[in-house]
Chains A and B, each alone.
Chain A
């Protein structure tokens, strides 16, 4: 087990964002975090990435407490792709990806042959090689999302955490992005990804963790987790399971409850 979290608790102000969360991200597998908006998926990913510290519980990386890592050492081991990574300057595509090598000591003007290789590999895998010299503000939202994914891949860390990497992508690129994550797992990387698309989660992920209100509802294989009752409890939505090959994919049908408890109008 690459990253293991036990009894995570996080309180922001008076709101308990995470409460008693146990989760494990295994090497060579894709783990999906699913659940409604505000369920705590992004917060959990930040804790797993070690960029926030929990108020209770702990996170370990290969049995070593994450809080003992130097920031750069941690960043070499765990690549994290935030959901709202906003480019602040119109730097070019290759520069964006090369930032992924920063934890390895690379800079914009200083690249080792290993850095160059990793950057080129990441751009090839995400199909972004054509954007190398283009300014990031002149790319479409989908092209930008793929570049940012390439940035995370370029680190070549043993753990890859991605917060909704498919959100801005059309179906074709959604498939490409999920395939890229799958391929990383195939190379032995421990991958965890927050997803809203349950069909993608069911098709591309080995394990699902269903969250609601800062807690884990169920965790297991897609078939175990994607049950109508558990989904209704977690999302407040009635789902129907539709056969797709060997899988049964959930399709949202109607609201059964508003977040916060109200009945549907």
Chain B
């Protein structure tokens, strides 16, 4: 297995999509001139568009996508369930609920920075609730069940909030936010999301060996001196931070956390720890590609990013499942 070569390829793809994301946009400006202006420090309109509009958008795409991809791979590795993604443990749903509460309490109108903070608080509270509710030393199955319950509760509470919407304007604002977007973001958003994602990535990457040990089940992991409940706690914390940070600036972007791990797993020999890193790259690439696509498609009003990832992701997942079914007769759980 030529491991190093594949990592270079992945980085190359992400870098190329980052560049593409900066070049592509509705302003129709000459990107050669714009980049020349940026490099020479010339304050032209094209330079401002690139620096103030497209660069933040591209960076956010990479950061948010990497966070979702890594968190998805961590969840799938932890729960050894190919359908897991941050949504399964209710992390995304709680982040969204936090944001909806911020919308309706009117705090967002007073201070826009409340929105991301509320989303992150939601993600953290959801994770804390998960571990308190599941109890000390909970098995992965218990965590999964409690996570599904929290997910359903948060989803119901969000829907309830929408139903009580005071006016159509607030309803639409929340609905669009829930569908996820990277449009009209600034470098402040990057500065907000990046530390959270990096902080979340630390415990996730530290649990690489723990996830590898779980490859043969919880009993073997225990025999290898790895305590699954401890792995679950750190992965939960890392996911809350990374996903909270991502949802806070981009809204809910589905499918990336589900797709990215499946896309890269065969290339890293199905090792759960390595899948996490590769999936961060794949998540960034997927999100950037989807974000370029929403700008290129002639849909009049720009499509929401979450809609695009679902449009791309659902067929992709279906194709993976079919290929998997053709490849083997046995009914194992992995794709």
Contact = CB atoms under 8 A, between A and B. Distances in A.
Contact of B271 (A73, A82, A103, A108): A108
B215 A91 contact: yes
Nearest to A51: B222
B301 interface: no
A51 B328 contact: no
Contact of B208 (A82, A84, A107, A155): A107
A51 B227 CA distance: 9
B272 interface: yes
Interface stretch (A94-102, A204-212, A256-264): A94-102
Interface string A70-103: 1111111011111011111111100110011011
Interface in A36-89: 46, 49, 51, 70-76, 78-82, 84-89
B274 A99 contact: no
A99 B224 contact: yes
Contact of B226 (A96, A102, A137, A151): A102
Q: Which of B214, B219, B222, B269 has the most CB of A within 10 A?
A: B219
A109 interface: yes
Contacts of B208: 107
B300 interface: no
Contacts of B26: none
A148 interface: yes
Nearest to A73: B225
B216 A85 contact: yes
A102 B210 CA distance: 9
A85 B219 contact: yes
Given A102-B209, A137-B332, A108 B216 contact: no
A64 B301 CA distance: 71
B171 interface: no
Nearest to B81: A88
B271 A102 contact: no
Nearest to A89: B270
B281 interface: no
Interface in B296-335: 328, 330, 332-334
Nearest to B333: A88
B273 to A, nearest CB: 6
B80 interface: yes
A203 B177 CA distance: 70
B219 A84 contact: yes
B271 A91 contact: yes
> In the complex, which range does the number of interface residues on chain B fall in?
20 to 34
Nearest to B328: A137
Given A91-B271, A108-B273, A103 B216 contact: no
A95 B269 contact: yes
Contacts of B222: 51, 71
Contacts of B219: 46, 51, 82, 84-85
A75 B224 contact: yes
A151 B213 CA distance: 11
B139 interface: no
Contacts of B213: 99, 102
B226 A91 contact: no
B227 A109 contact: no
Contact of A90 (B80, B216, B273, B332): B332
B217 A95 contact: no
B220 interface: yes
Contacts of A107: 208-209, 212, 273
B214 A102 contact: no
B224 A103 contact: yes
B217 A102 contact: no
B97 to A, nearest CB: 31
B83 to A, nearest CB: 14
A89 B223 CA distance: 18
B212 A99 contact: yes
A180 to B, nearest CB: 18
Interface string B194-224: 0000000000000011001111110110111
A87 B272 CA distance: 12
Contacts of B225: 70-76, 102-103
Interface string B254-277: 000000000001000111111000
Contacts of A92: 269
A141 B161 CA distance: 53
A119 to B, nearest CB: 14
Nearest to A107: B209
8 contacts: A81-B223, A88-B80, A89-B80, A91-B269, A99-B216, A100-B224, A135-B270, A155-B224
Given A78-B223, A103-B225, 4 more contacts: A82-B217, A89-B265, A100-B224, A102-B209
A-B complex: 9 closest residue pairs judged by Cβ atoms: A75-B225, A80-B223, A72-B225, A51-B222, A71-B225, A82-B219, A88-B80, A89-B270, A102-B224
